[in-house]
Amino acid sequence: RALRWGRGLCWPRSGGVRGGAAMDLFGDLRRMNKRQLYYQVLNFAMIVSSALMIWKGLIVVTGSESPIVVVLSGSMEPAFHRGDLLFLTNFHDDPIRAGEIVVFKVEGRDIPIVHRVIKVHEKGNGNIKFLTKGDNNEVDDRGLYKEGQNWLEKKDVVGRARGFLPYVGMVTIIMNDYPKFKYALLAVMGAYVLLKRES
């Protein structure tokens, strides 16, 4: 499976660090005048907008609706491991060939799947149908497809793996598994951007 891109934070109990950190945060906010606060909020909004623009740009350049995905299971080991970050392209002119690793979506499943193409049937009219299987699985993926579906088509493909970074996506998996950690991390990042002073 792929993901398209503890319980909270533990604070030391001694010395009142938790309360001190919170007081410092609110103290910094109180010391800012309105102009500084507006500037920092705009700065934060600009960072978020830039990230969205980069993501949209990647979609246009790669032709894939999800140009970067995270491997969520061990079904493709040893080629890919859980937490690997995959870079995808999805140019419709490129024919799908046996041996390629594709990310596909199946009707009724929210999370895309990363598996290898093992068979391809090309008809005279140019239509291509293909069958996939995880390298670490004993059987092909027909049991994962929707009921009555024996083959995938190009419309089911989200992208094809063109490169990867090992284990970089573990952060995404941890944030997905532990939502409190995700919100705490986002809060810390937001506070850092808002309170960062211009040097």
Q: Going by C-beta distance under 8 Å and a sequence separation of 6 or more, which residues neighbour residue 86? A: 2, 68, 69, 70, 71, 80, 103, 114, 161, 163, 164
Interval 149-182: pLDDT, tens: 999 999 999 999 999 999 988 888 888 888 888 7
Q: What is the chain's length?
A: 199
Which position among 66, 75, 84, 156 bears the catalytic label?
Answer: 75
This prediction's pTM:
0.70
Helices then strands, counting H and E runs in the chain, come out as 4, 8
81 is catalytic: no
Question: What integer best gives the mean pLDDT of the chain?
Answer: 82
| Catalytic option among 66, 84, 141, 156 | 141
Q: How many Cα atoms are found within 13 Å in the side-chain-facing hemisphere of 49?
A: 6
Three-state secondary structure call for residue 51: helix
Q: What percent of the chain has pLDDT over 70?
A: 80
- From 64, 84, 115, 156, the catalytic residue: 115
What is the mean predicted confidence (pLDDT) over 73-97? 92
| pLDDT reported for residue 15 | 45
Q: How many angstroms separate the Cα of 95 from the Cα of each of 46, 91, 100, 128, 132?
A: 39, 9, 10, 8, 15
Query: Phi and psi (nearest 5°) for 92?
Result: -70, -20
- 140 has catalytic annotation: no
pLDDT tens-place string over residues 98-110: 999 999 999 888 8
Q: What CATH number belongs to 68-166?
A: 2.10.109.10
Q: Is 75 a catalytic residue?
A: yes
